[in-house]
């Protein structure tokens, strides 16, 4: 992934259409590498999580073009590349697996990031009914070694419809049930990169299974 990091570093310094058009072939080569990695991960994840099925890698990889319609930042291109691997690809509403390549900011993770309101209520309801099971999943030694904490974006008060005196109300305040684990550039460039991603994603499987079971039960 050295070439991908190099491209993204140059793109960050030259985030404009003229430079991108001049380097479109370079981008396409990098995209092919990300697609290949995505295809490999789909196969490997399928060995421990058959629910993802066989999504098309092209439907998992995120577009590099930014939506600038409602943003003050009008730079046209993202300076990262990544894929969301789940049943249905990157637009899936189900909990899944994600890898993100960005110079100085790469990570692996997954779960449910910014879920829709009905999905979020399903997750909260399941945790309200079975808090111990969820807490056990995210507190094992092997899980905490990779994901020491949940993605921290929380409500200030208890979510509507749930009692404020619930002992684990802090868990229900989360707006996402997502986890990330940073990966340094040296690892992204190394031969052990794929193995590290797979190990991290395998740790997420029980959490994803819990979250997706909640969707199936409450939606």
| 25 pLDDT higher than 90 | yes
pLDDT of residue 68: 82
For residues 211 and 95, the answer to whether their CB atoms sit within 8 Å is: yes
The domain spanning residue 96 has which CATH number?
3.30.930.20
At 77-86, the pLDDT tens digits run 999 999 999 9
At 149-187, the pLDDT tens digits run 998 889 999 999 999 999 999 999 999 999 999 999 999
128 φψ region: left (φ > 0), alpha (ψ -120 to 50), beta (else):
alpha
Mind giving me the DSSP string for 35-65? HHHHHHHHHHHTTT-GGG----HHHHBPPSB
At 40-56, the pLDDT tens digits run 999 999 999 999 999 99
Average pLDDT over residues 13-27: 97
| 69 pLDDT higher than 90 | no
Question: Which of 169, 149, 150 minimizes the C-alpha distance to 159?
Answer: 169
pLDDT of residue 169: 97
Q: Strand pairing partners for 108?
A: 99, 181
Could you tell me the residue range of the domain that residue 47 belongs to?
2-218
pLDDT of residue 152: 81
Distance CA 110, CA 113 (A): 8
Over pLDDT 90: what percentage of the chain? 94
Q: Strand pairing partners for 61?
A: 83
For residues 138 and 203, the answer to whether their CB atoms sit within 8 Å is: no
- Count of domains forming the chain: 1
Average pLDDT of the chain is 96
Average pLDDT over residues 213-218: 94
Q: Strand pairing partners for 182?
A: 107
């Amino acid at each position: 992934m050295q070439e991908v990091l190099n491209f993204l570093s140059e793109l960050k310094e030259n985030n404009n259409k003229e430079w991108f058009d001049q380097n479109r072939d370079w981008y396409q080569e990098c995209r092919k590498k990300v697609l290949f990695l995505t295809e490999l991960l789909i196969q490997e994840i399928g060995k421990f999580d058959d629910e993802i099925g066989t999504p098309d890698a092209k439907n998992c990889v995120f577009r590099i073009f930014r939506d600038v319609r409602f943003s003050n930042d009008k730079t046209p291109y993202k300076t990262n590349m990544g894929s969301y691997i789940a049943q249905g690809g990157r637009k899936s509403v189900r909990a899944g697996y994600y890898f993100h390549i960005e110079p100085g900011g790469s990570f692996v993770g997954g779960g449910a990031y910014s879920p829709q309101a009905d999905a979020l209520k399903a997750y909260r309801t399941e945790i309200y009914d079975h808090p111990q099971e969820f807490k056990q999943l995210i507190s094992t030694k092997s899980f905490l070694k990779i994901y020491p904490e949940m993605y921290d974006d929380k409500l200030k008060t208890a979510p509507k419809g749930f009692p404020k005196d619930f002992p684990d109300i802090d868990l229900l305040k989360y707006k996402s049930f997502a986890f990330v684990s940073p990966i340094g550039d040296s690892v992204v460039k190394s031969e052990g990169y794929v193995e590290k991603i797979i190990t991290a994603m395998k740790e997420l499987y029980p959490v994803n299974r819990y979250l997706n079971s909640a969707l199936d039960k409450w939606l």
